[in-house]
Amino acid sequence: MAYSNKVIDHYENPRNVGSFAKDDPTIATGMVGAPACGDVMRLQLKVNEQGVIEDARFKTYGCGSAIASSSLVTEWVKGKTLDEAQKITNTEIAQELALPPVKIHCSILAEDAIKAAIADYKQKQGAQG
Ligand code: FES
Ligand code: FES
């Protein structure tokens, strides 16, 4: 299967690979798996007191499209509020990367990872307050 140039770029030069310290309360973690293929994506967001995402990291065990999707969203979420990040859709990701239909679920994984991380952050905030 032919990958688009943008997928290849993100796959060969993935942005923001890695992880933040788990015990940092400003870090939200979203971990999701794709039932279709068993790939796993972990996305971490560093959120400041204003609810703005300052930084992001990912680790993805999966195909090139999944890695490119997660790399892309780590760039997209930076500087966004949690509410803005919540609105990122897999369709936008798939369009930006020109993903073919069989790879759409890879972009869904990235959307789900953002939503899972935001849910984790809200849960942590709730637990503190
Ligand atoms: Fe094997 Fe995604 S299906 S890496
Ligand atoms: Fe399953 Fe890409 S995440 S093939």
- CA–CA dist 14, 24 (Å, integer): 24
Write down the pLDDT at residue 1. 60
Among protein residues, the one with the nearest Cα to ligand 1's atom 2 is 63
Find out whether 89 and 69 touch, Cβ atoms under 8 Å: no
Q: What pLDDT is recorded for position 5?
A: 94
pLDDT of residue 126: 84
For ligand 1, mutation pick of 3, 32, 39 (most atoms within 8 Å of CB): 39
**Angstrom distances, CA of residue 110 to CA of 21, 65, 68, 89, 91:** 21, 10, 9, 9, 11
| Ligand 2 touching residue 65 (CB < 6 A) | yes
Shortest CA distance to 90 belongs to which of 64, 114, 54, 59? 114
Round to the nearest angstrom and report the end-to-end CA distance of the chain: 49
Could you read off the pLDDT tens digit of each residue along the chain, which spans 129 residues?
A: 678 999 999 999 999 999 998 788 899 999 999 887 899 999 999 999 999 999 999 999 999 999 999 999 999 999 999 999 999 999 999 999 999 999 999 999 999 999 999 999 999 888 765
Which domains are seen in the chain, by residue range? 5-119 (3.90.1010.10)
Which ipTM did the prediction report? Answer: 0.71
